[in-house]
Amino acid sequence: MAKSQLSKKSNPKSGFSKVDKMLDTAGWFGLATLVILTIFTYFRVPDTIPVHFNIVGRPNGFGSKLFLFAVLGIACFIFFSITLTIKYVFASPGATAIPNKNLDFAIRIVKFLKLMVMIGFIYIMVITNLIVDHVTDGLGSFFLPAVVITLLFPVAYFFKRTMREKLMKK
């Protein structure tokens, strides 16, 4: 569970369950992987790389390899925005100690989404390398639908679960 509900399995100092800690650790690992991959990619690709992909995943815009650091900056901004939101908005130190299953589940969903965003950025960086090496010709037509499903399904599931609990209380 999140900070509002301590469990026997979690560390009493942090208030997060093992699943929450695992999602956090995987997110940080994903960010570190993205940083290393960005540096690796920068030194091995030519000066012009694909910087934009069309709806079917094929590159349709090219630019300087410095754009790789812009992508990394965007990923870092998203990662730290979500991390700070969880810390100071969802699970603030002044938050109530009353257990709230919906809040705990919302925090877990947000951590899951943060991990999925990092995986998406890593995938884009790997595909950029493969395009430069002429191994593939784009992200693949499945990329956009996969991103939409991965990001919207957990949110829809959260709302369904929350509404079901509210209806059962009536």
CA 112 from centroid of its chain's CA atoms: 7
Strand partners of residue 53: 59
pLDDT tens-place string over residues 93-126: 655 555 677 777 888 888 999 999 999 999 999 9
| 163: its two tokens | 């509404």
pLDDT tens-place string over residues 21-46: 899 999 999 999 999 999 999 999 99
Q: What is the pLDDT of residue 99?
A: 60
Residue 63 above 90 pLDDT? Answer: yes
**pLDDT band at 68; cut points 50, 70, 90:** very high
| 67: its two tokens | 């754009």
Give the global pTM.
Answer: 0.79
pLDDT > 70 in the chain, percent: 83
Beta 48-53 vs 59-64: how paired, if at all? antiparallel
67-85 vs 101-132: helix crossing angle, rounded to 10: 170
